[in-house]
Amino acid sequence: MRPLRLALAASEVAPFAKTGGLADVLLGLGRWLGKKAPQGPGHDVRVFLPFYQRIAKSGLKTTPLTGAQNIDVRFPQRTIRFSIRTAPLPQSEVPVYFIDCKELYDRDGIYTEDGDEALRFGLLSRAVLETCQRLQWAPDVVHCNDWHTALLPLYLRTVYAWDKLFAGTKTLLTIHNIGYQGFFKDSMLDTLGLGDQRAHVHHGDLRDGNLSFLKTGVLHATKLSTVSRTYAREIQTDEFGMGMQELLRSRSADLVGIVNGVDYGEWNPADDPRIPHHFTANDLSGKAKMKAAMLQRFQLPHDPRAPVFGVVSRLTAQKGFELFADSIPIFLQREDMRLCVLGTGEEKTEKYFQWLRDTWPNKVSIYRGFQEDLAHWIEAGSDAFLMPSRFEPCGLNQMYSLRYGTPPIVRRTGGLADTVDPWDPATRTGTGFLFDEFSSHALAGTMDWVLRNWRDQRGWQQLIKNGMQRDFSWDRQGPEYVALYRALTGA
């Protein structure tokens, strides 16, 4: 079968611009798709990402892409000029096409609250298509991700419909998190050059004077996917659909769930350059050293018998930390345990963790901020990983935890349900701990169960091994995307 031409477009790609799992997926999937045969499938992949200020300032070596300089994109109220700079994804030959447009991307953050936020990402979609035109490169599939690139399918069907280059181009929209939909006033349609396309925007939103990027994408993408089978089901329900359930139900036949892969090139305790001690399922001595080193870094007393619970997370309502309030303090009072937290986000949650730290300074430590290397330390040095999410499209941290011998404690939702199997001490099977109800009571019951199992260290070692042997690599998950791309193109 011939290799596919694939354009991957997103607002985040690790390591260049990252706030969450989306960035890791783009890096891992892009790198895997482009890996040359026979190790990889060897597709012609090009990844599109804005050239944010932070990338421009990072010292990354990029080169101007010949044939894609000074491209003017006409919007009704202004013309925006961009150029493509390129550099490969790390450890690969897959090119990233950075959209260099100072007037839109030379800002502090990846995301902003500026009045032209819709245009910033409207341009991203158009820049992908404009670049393809300049290069006369016809993608088989443009793979869009989340709301930021969700207008692309509509642009393709309207503004670019005349161009035969795209006659065979199909679109896939992957929903990584339905909590972010890209809501704007419908007057933005004019700004975005879609003023005459009102009939193609979701009628409910229009009635309310709104425009949702994500809904527009769901209406017009050839196919839809999300990042786990359970989440694909959940987002079609009133509980999880966040207002999109009916629309998604209407496209149910075109919606599939594919669990994210893990890039074990980045996340492997056997040779992770970000941690000082390494280990494997057969020799866990390095993990014990990591525990000691991590506790020292968090300035907490070390006792090998006291279990360390780790948290690495955006601190938002999605992640379910409100459940800690009536559960975790009980155990902090009662048990010799540690809690090490790395996170940033809502002030309320940051303050809550700070309060825990102030109340139990010898047991709790929090690092407020975003720090890649510390995330690896916590995965490696903790004994268990807490992820009580209210909803979780896929979740990567629980999969990293499995590989780092840190059994995850998760709520049975979305990708957590699909990737963690309950530990059963009788059969010594399973990889972690799950609870169903979104309540402190349910979390407390599970913590109790975790601590009872911790006391049986022989069982615990088996639990660790089971998790470390699970394989969520892109070698396993990637072919599901390729099958989907092929189904789309009929190739």
E strands, 215-276, in order: 223-226, 255-257
What is the crossing angle of helices 474-489 and 21-34, to 10°? 80
Assigned token pair, 364: 């709790």
Residue 464 as a binder of ligand ADP (CB under 6 A): the answer is no
Residue 268 as a binder of ligand ADP (CB under 6 A): the answer is no
Residue 486 as a binder of ligand ADP (CB under 6 A): the answer is no
Q: Which of 173, 224, 375, 402 binds ligand ADP (CB under 6 A)?
A: 375
- Nearest approach in angstroms of CB 155 to ligand ADP is 26
Q: What are phi and psi for residue 173, nearest 5 degrees?
A: -115, 120
- Nearest approach in angstroms of CB 287 to ligand ADP is 18
Q: What are phi and psi for residue 65, nearest 5 degrees?
A: -85, 120
Whether a cis peptide bond, with omega within 30° of 0, leads into 38 is yes
Size of the site for ligand ADP (CB under 6 A): 17
Q: Which of 86, 158, 210, 371 binds ligand ADP (CB under 6 A)?
A: 371
- Nearest approach in angstroms of CB 283 to ligand ADP is 25
Distances (CA, A) of 191 to 112, 216, 369, 485: 18, 16, 36, 32
**Torsion sign over Cα 45, 48, 49, 50:** positive
Residue 343 as a binder of ligand ADP (CB under 6 A): the answer is yes
Q: Which of 337, 342, 356, 364 binds ligand ADP (CB under 6 A)?
A: 342
Identify which range of 105-113, 192-200, 233-241, 338-346 contacts ligand ADP by CB under 6 A.
Answer: 338-346
Q: Which of 397, 401, 440, 473 binds ligand ADP (CB under 6 A)?
A: 397
Identify which range of 111-119, 287-295, 311-319, 427-435 contacts ligand ADP by CB under 6 A.
Answer: 311-319
Residue 320 as a binder of ligand ADP (CB under 6 A): the answer is no
- Per DSSP, the three-state class of 299 is coil
Residue type, 152: L
What is the crossing angle of helices 372-381 and 285-297, to 10°? 130
Q: Which of 10, 21, 259, 349 binds ligand ADP (CB under 6 A)?
A: 21
Q: What are phi and psi for residue 184, nearest 5 degrees?
A: -140, 170
Q: Which residues does 411 contact at the CB level (< 8 Å), separation at least 6?
A: 320, 387, 388, 389, 390, 392, 434, 435, 436, 438, 442
Q: Which of 370, 439, 449, 479 binds ligand ADP (CB under 6 A)?
A: 370
Q: Which residues bind ligand ADP (CB under 6 A)?
A: 20-21, 24, 312-314, 342-344, 370-372, 375, 394-397
